[in-house]
Structure 1
Amino acid sequence: MSELLTIDDISVTYGNIKALRNVSMHVNQGDIVCLIGANGSGKSTLLKAIVGQEPLVNGSITFDGEEICQTRGANGKGKKHKILTTDIIASRGIALVPEGRRVFSQMTVEENLDMGAFMVRDKALINERKEAMYDFFPILGARRRQKTRSLSGGEQQMMAIARALMSGPRMILLDEPGLGLAPLVIADIFEKIDLINKQDNVTVFLVEQNARMALKASTEGYVMENGKIVLHDASASLLENEKVRAAYLGE
């Protein structure tokens, strides 16, 4: 299976703090890949780097064979150079569902979905995708005219995912989709993620603190500590790894 996303030796800094340290990883087309790690380990920073929201100190990121972010040395000074802006990266087929959902609370569900399709010019296609989202998330269809602030946390998460899907992405990046939600709601959202992957052939890169749920939902997994990838294996193998079980599964 071909690599859709390739991250090669990237680093990101915040002042004197190295948030990411020479990270290399890949996501194959059609897979669900997860990244687990403690709070502050750099997981969200990695997702932001992929969509061009954090500049790279070194390394490069390639999506479907095209470099979307890289660092080039300028006269030996290592000047930062970002190839594509975030909106152009999104137009290539990557959608990010950020941590905390970040919905437009004063807008209706339908208006939020319209925002997800801001780069789509075909109105018929936008309406078609909205109806598909209402079928996929029936609660959103029932509440399409409601202000988003009136939705529960789980409903807002569903809407954030639906908003991302409105752009028709080839890959969706999910940052802590289960954060702060009840176990039954989390299970429902992860079931939807599996359907998005299998039915719509959308590649999924999942960042999640619920390590057990993430590893069960994915085919491959990475473990990040202090901005570095310290483990990479099949998710089933990571579930049996003694270090992972002790550090992340509470065993």
Structure 2
Amino acid sequence: MSEHLISIRDIQVNYGNIQALKGISIDVPEGEICCLIGANGAGKTTLLKAIVGLEPLVAGSIEFDGQLIASSEKRKSLATNEIVSRGIGLVPEGRRVFADLTVEENLEMGAFLIRDEARIREKKSEMFELFPILEKRRRQKAASLSGGEQQMLAIGRALMSSPRVLLLDEPGLGLAPLIIKHIFDIIARVNREEKVTVFLVEQNARMALSASTKGYVMETGTIVLADEARLLLENPRVRGAYLGE
């Protein structure tokens, strides 16, 4: 078993003539919460898409638990469904729940790789225990939920497949401060109780670093800082650029 659940080495992603990721290298330690902070447009979402095979690599490679899952050599890259089946769950930016489906149906969509109906029922019960408000709303369409409830549903949907690592793209986006705190409390609980490794992408630098053990800072497709999260909170460059100090 690899010490780092995800190891990203010198990856490059292009959008046409634009270099979106410029030789990124990142390690996500197993069992921890690791965050990536940076301004809007820095390339954070592109990185998450690359991990799950939604953006092809021009250079570099990505390993999951010591096994290659993405490479600039296309024949060595796995399809997105294969990557998910190995234990990677993604909660995309903007939540992207299935608006016309009920809460329960959304959760079931997250279990598309599970063939055992009893196991699916068991996972739904676990999600309703983790998110009691979703059980109350289980027969409501996702479109009727508040932003915070939709974020909980998106996280629950990703957890239905029992991932070993959860990728979260801007979980606090557009939510009120109290709701953001609640979401981050849930993320910490999932990491602590479910032993799920978390890789968190977030513009709210203070919240992300406070919740994490390790952090990276991205600027225009490049990693400019990497350190223990507590040290990044004290870093003058981070404090000035991202913490408003």
| TM-score, normalization by structure 2 | 0.98
Aligned partner (choices 212, 221, 227) of residue 227 of structure 1 = 221
The 1-side partners of 2:60 and 2:195 are apart by 29
Unaligned runs of 5+ in 2: none
Matched, 1:99 2:93: yes
Shift of 1:90: 0.1
Task: Pick the aligned partner of 1:171 from 156, 160, 165.
Answer: 165
Once the 2 structures are TM-superposed, how far is the Cα of residue 83 of structure 1 from its aligned partner?
A: 1.6
Question: CA–CA distance in 2 between the matches of 1:233 and 1:128?
Answer: 39
Aligned equivalent of 1:70:
71
Q: Within the alignment, does 1:132 sit opposite 2:133 as a pair? A: no
- Indicate the SS of the match to 1:223: strand
Shift, 1:117, TM fit: 0.2
TM-aligned CA distance change 1:42 to 1:81, over 3 Å: farther
Cα distance between partner residues in 2 of 1:108 and 1:71: 39
CA RMSD of aligned residues (A): 0.8
Contact 1:52/1:82, CA 8 A, preserved across alignment:
no
In the alignment, structure 1 residue 145 sits paired with structure 2 residue 146:
no
1:205 paired residue number: 199
Matched, 1:31 2:25: no
- 1:2-81 aligned within 5 A: 2-72=3-73, 80-81=74-75
**What's the CA shift string for 1:150-201, capped at 9, x where partnerless?**
1000000000000000001000000000000000000000000000000000
Matched ranges for 1:82-121 at <5 A: 83-121=77-115
Secondary structure class of the residue paired with 2:240: helix
> CA offset at residue 82 of structure 1?
5.2
1:250 matched to which residue of 2? 244
Q: In the aligned structure 1, how far is the partner of 2:242 from the partner of 2:205?
A: 6
The AA in structure 1 aligned to 2:218 is M
Once the two structures are TM-superposed, the CA of residue 65 in structure 1 deviates from its matched residue by 1.0
SS of match in other structure, 2:224? strand
Percent identity over the alignment is 66
Q: 2: distance between equivalents of 1:83 and 1:37?
A: 27
- C-alpha separation between the residues in 1 aligned to 2:100 and 2:180? 25
1:214 equivalent among 208, 219, 233:
208
Report the alpha carbon displacement of residue 118 of structure 1 after superposing the two structures with TM. Answer: 0.4
Task: Tell me by how many angstroms 1:81 deviates.
Answer: 4.4
TM-score where L is the length of structure 1: 0.96
Equivalent residues of 1:35, 1:221 under 8 A apart: yes
SS at match of 1:133: helix
Distance (whole Å) between structure 1 residues aligned to residue 105 and residue 199 of structure 2: 26
Aligned pairs, number:
244
Q: Which runs of 4+ in 1 moved over 3 A?
A: none
Corresponding residue number in structure 2 for 1:239: 233
Describe the SS at the equivalent of 2:207.
helix
- Partners of 1:14 and 1:200 in 2: how far apart? 37
Q: Which runs of 5+ in 1 are unaligned?
A: 73-79
